[in-house]
Amino acid sequence: MSTKTLAKPRGTRDMLPDEMEARREIEMRLRNCARTFGYREIATPAFEETELFTIRSGEGIIAEMYAFEDKGGRSLSLRPELTAPVLRMYVNEGKSLVKPVKWCYFGDCFRYERPQKGRYRQFWQFGAELIDADSAFADAEIIMLANELLKTAGVTFILKIGHLACMRTLLSETPATLQIAVRHALDKRESDKAALLLAENGYKHLVQPLLALTQATTLSEIFSIIGNIPQKERIEEMCQILDTAGVAYELSPAIARGLDYYTGVVFEAFAEGLGAENQIMGGGAYRLAHLFGGEDTPSVGFAIGFDRVMVALSEKQIVAPKPQVSIIYFPETRSAAVRTAATLREQGICVDLDLTGRSFSAQMKNAGKIANTAIIIGEKEYSVGTVTVKNLNTGEQVQWSLSALSEHIVEFMSA
């Protein structure tokens, strides 16, 4: 038998209780926030037919995925993202749903790429999709939701908003292949490379307007460069709604997004403390349903890189409570401790009981590491129906009857 110590696969992580409690706390905040906007949670399979992802991105994406053939010879892949599965689900299940459809989701995704800070081969996304709503208000609401989610999580970030019509109008006289190359360069924040591509391909006259557009920060500046495009009123209306809602954002017409299926508004958020890989959210308007056998349906959505959010929050104190109560008992009072723990747990209180037969002093020492409050059930006290309750942070100590314990313990712990 091998004695080799097995390690976790490259690009994955083991998460201990403190980290998991912090993650669950942020998940809960995000879910609750999305619900206030009317977005209900869904879930899709962890693996899908490979074609679901290649149909829009080409066969080249397979090199970046965990693709495999199952025992029935079917080509399947662990999902590399969640938007395509959600739209596939909409096509399969959404015909009878009330429109527009408001869905949110949280799940793990898998990509075969080089691991780095905040970027893993198994990673988690929280996202939302607004399906079958095509208006400035729909665009504004999804941005408002994304903004509120990041604020609720506690992240310090910058929100940037653009619209693909701006760059597409500027580049309308260039071939489609060149437009894609320029957009991809802009998506990587390489405006100099984008300008060079135009110059090398005979469009030097577009270099100066391109660079001016990448630096424009107001609607008036943007439209002075590209003119009064058909989408002008919709963009202005969207910005007016965001301003009314008090959303802080920067206009960034150079946002291109790396995926070619985006059709209109695009937006991204960048967090402090993540270095070069500081984008934590991205989204926009798109049309995908028709690729999966459905009708051509307008949609707008986004995904938040949950792991990057947690890295951005790593310096902050996230609520990750240790067990709130530790019951200290003697061999003679163990049964009373078990009954007391059961009563408190029925109230939703987190209770720890020693399971190893430690001495009184060892139990107290351990309680100081894992709990905020100690309930001491001594033989003499229990014989007269009382317990001692001690605040392990302040040292405050009181004696209560067992009947008063259930009534006052929550107030005592929160004091």
Is residue 5 in some structural domain? no
20-75: per-residue pLDDT in tens? 989 999 999 999 999 999 999 999 999 999 999 998 777 888 999 999 999 999 99
Q: How many domains does the chain have?
A: 3
Q: What integer best gives the mean pLDDT of the chain?
A: 90
Q: What is the pLDDT of residue 114?
A: 83
Q: What is the pLDDT of residue 256?
A: 72
Q: Give CA angle at 323 (321, 326), nearest 5°.
A: 150
102-132: per-residue pLDDT in tens? 999 999 999 998 877 667 899 999 999 999 9
Q: Which of 320, 339, 357 is the endpoint of a domain? A: 320
Helices (H), 107-206: 136-153, 164-170, 176-187, 191-200
- What pTM does this model have? 0.87
Assess whether pLDDT exceeds 60 at residue 350.
yes
User: 75-78 and 67-69 as β-strands: parallel, antiparallel, unpaired?
Assistant: antiparallel
Predicted confidence band of residue 385 (pLDDT cuts 50, 70, 90): confident
Written as one letter, the residue type at 40 is: R
176-232: per-residue pLDDT in tens? 889 888 888 887 788 889 889 999 998 899 999 899 998 999 999 999 999 989 999
**Tokens at residue 321, please?**
């409570």
136 & 281 share domain: yes
122 & 168 share domain: no
Cis peptide bond upstream of 100, omega within 30: yes
144 & 286 share domain: yes
DSSP label at residue 7: -
The Cα–Cα gap between 33 and 330 comes to 45
Assess whether pLDDT exceeds 60 at residue 96.
yes
Q: What is the pLDDT of residue 57?
A: 76
DSSP label at residue 6: P
180 & 290 share domain: no
Report helix, strand or coil for 114: coil
379 compared with 34, residue with greater pLDDT: 34
DSSP for 325-357, please give it.
EEEEE-GGGHHHHHHHHHHHHHTT--EEE--S-
Residue 395's domain comprises 325-414
Q: What is the pLDDT of residue 410?
A: 82
Q: Yes or no: say if 208 and 238 are a contact pair by the CB < 8 Å rule.
A: no
| Strand arrangement, sheet containing 75-78 | 47-49, 75-78, 67-69
127-165: per-residue pLDDT in tens? 999 999 999 999 999 999 999 999 999 999 999 999 999
27 & 123 share domain: yes
Is residue 258 in some structural domain? no
111 & 236 share domain: no
Q: What is the pLDDT of residue 335?
A: 93
pLDDT over 70 for what percent of the chain? 96
Is residue 263 in some structural domain? no
Q: What CATH number does the domain containing 371 carry?
A: 3.40.50.800
Alpha-carbon separation of residue 151 from 276, 280, 367, 405 (angstroms): 21, 12, 35, 38
**Tokens at residue 151, please?**
């604020």
Report helix, strand or coil for 259: coil
50 compared with 393, residue with greater pLDDT: 50
119 & 162 share domain: no
147 & 81 share domain: yes
Predicted confidence band of residue 82 (pLDDT cuts 50, 70, 90): very high
Residues in a beta bridge with 124: 108
Assess whether pLDDT exceeds 60 at residue 1.
no
145 & 44 share domain: yes
What is the mean predicted confidence (pLDDT) over 67-84?
A: 96
Assess whether pLDDT exceeds 70 at residue 2.
no
145 & 280 share domain: yes
239-281: per-residue pLDDT in tens? 999 999 999 999 998 887 655 678 899 999 999 877 777 899 9
Assess whether pLDDT exceeds 60 at residue 319.
no
What is the mean predicted confidence (pLDDT) over 356-363?
A: 94
Assess whether pLDDT exceeds 80 at residue 322.
no
Q: Yes or no: say if 269 and 159 are a contact pair by the CB < 8 Å rule.
A: yes
176 & 148 share domain: no
Is residue 231 in some structural domain? yes
217 & 290 share domain: no
Predicted confidence band of residue 88 (pLDDT cuts 50, 70, 90): very high
The Cα–Cα gap between 299 and 98 comes to 15
Contacts of 5 (CB under 8 A, 6+ apart): none
Q: Yes or no: say if 58 and 71 are a contact pair by the CB < 8 Å rule.
A: no
User: For the chain, how far is it from start to end, CA to CA, in angstroms?
Assistant: 56
